């Protein structure tokens, strides 16, 4: 899957450092999905972007890198390569967010890994302000069906771009944490980064 890594492994000892294959592929129009990793307070993150914008953010402690890349190759394009410079903006903004210096992400997003009601749920989630929270019913209502709060929970659980699409801001109506793809400890950390404010009014 990672062409660059395979080439480096197959190179004889003493071979000069290979050029940046991801950037060369991008310049030649042969790169559809660029990816890079980021060390964060939540562990190593894998970020992937297309020409449209950030398309995937994965917690590598919970997912295998090769599986994430295989999913991207299957669902978007097999032309997936490590190209860290293509992810400079998302990595910088995430670093600023974790350091408490950024309250809103200014990143183009590629929404193609979600559709229909699930996409509407995530779009409603993306509108929740920094430091605030909402309930599953509220985001279901924002997506057009207030009774579909269980389906909203499923959509949030399959969020392809957590943190940036802030599904950690969704709580149970009684104030309980609910679920989180990255695990509840990560959800607690993210809420703490943002000040852990109380849920908005609503059932």
b/e sequence 2-20, b meaning 16+ C-beta within 10 Å: bebeeeeeeeeeeeeeeeb
Pairing verdict, β 33-40 and 43-49: antiparallel
Please tell me which residue in 167, 171, 190, 191 is annotated as part of the active site.
167
The whole-angstrom separation of Cα 122 and Cα 152 is 9
Q: Is 74 a catalytic site residue?
A: no
3-state secondary structure of 21: helix
Both tokens of 53, joined, read: 């914008």
Q: Max CA-CA distance within the chain? A: 64
Give which of 33, 42, 170 is closest to 94, Cα–Cα: 42
- Residues noted as catalytic: 167
């Amino acid at each position: 899957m990672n062409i660059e890594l395979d080439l480096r492994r197959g190179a004889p000892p003493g071979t000069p450092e290979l050029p940046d294959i991801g950037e060369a592929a991008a310049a030649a129009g042969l790169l559809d999905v660029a990816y890079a990793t980021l060390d964060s307070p939540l562990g190593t993150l894998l970020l992937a972007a297309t020409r449209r914008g950030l398309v995937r953010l994965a917690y590598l402690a919970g997912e295998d890198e090769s599986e994430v890349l295989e999913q991207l190759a299957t669902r978007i394009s097999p032309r997936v390569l490590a190209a860290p410079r293509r992810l400079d903006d998302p990595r910088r903004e995430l670093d600023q967010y974790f350091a408490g210096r950024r309250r809103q992400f200014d990143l183009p997003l590629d929404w193609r890994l979600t559709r229909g009601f699930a996409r509407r749920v995530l779009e409603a989630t993306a509108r929740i302000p920094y430091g605030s929270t909402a309930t599953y019913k509220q985001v279901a209502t924002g997506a057009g069906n207030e009774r579909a709060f269980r389906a909203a929970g499923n959509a949030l659980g399959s969020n392809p771009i957590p943190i940036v699409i802030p599904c950690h801001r969704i709580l149970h109506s009684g104030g309980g944490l609910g679920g989180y793809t990255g695990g509840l400890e990560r959800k607690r950390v993210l809420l703490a980064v943002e000040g852990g404010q109380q849920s908005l009014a609503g059932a």
